[in-house]
Amino acid sequence: MVVWLFVALIITQTYTANLASMLTAERLEPTIDNIDQLRNSNIRVGYGSGSFLKHYVNEVLHFHPENMRNYGELEEYAEALRRKEIGAAFLEVPAAKIFLAKYCREFIQAGPSYKIGGFAFVCDATILS
């Protein structure tokens, strides 16, 4: 009987802690819902230097070249997003995973991953608070 009461106590406490966490934790929501909204609002976007993304974002996703900015380091993306120089960053998947791991409290991935000939990339958008 004591064992069952102990198990019930643990389950109750776990449920209470999870419920409190869900109700109080700040949820990150992307400010941009999809690529079309991003493109049509003329928001500047960032892409990696020396990457295939410049051509893809320009030619396939139809972003205007004046709305595209080139960045080399992940820290440059973070600073540009914080200063609102760009509204989103197009990153290759490995770089995006590192970026989101490093800046998980500030930024979130918005939208799906795009795959091109074995390469993949994502769009990371800043959060307006």
Is the separation of the CB atoms in 76 and 118 below 8 Å? no
CATH number of 28-126: 3.40.190.10
Q: Which of 96, 127, 101, 129 is nearest to 112 (CA)?
A: 96
Task: Provide the residue-wise pLDDT of the chain in tens; the chain has 129 residues.
Answer: 889 988 898 999 998 888 777 666 555 566 666 777 778 888 888 888 777 788 888 888 888 889 899 888 889 988 988 888 888 888 887 888 888 888 877 887 776 676 665 555 555 554 433
User: Domain coordinates of the chain in residue numbers?
Assistant: 28-126
pTM above 0.85, yes or no: no
Beta bridge partners, 108, equal: 125
Q: How far apart are CA 59 and CA 25, in angstroms?
A: 40
Q: Are strands 119-126 and 107-116 parallel, antiparallel or unpaired?
A: antiparallel
Work out the number of other CB atoms within 10 angstroms of the CB of residue 68.
17
| Residue corresponding to tokens 């307006």 | 128
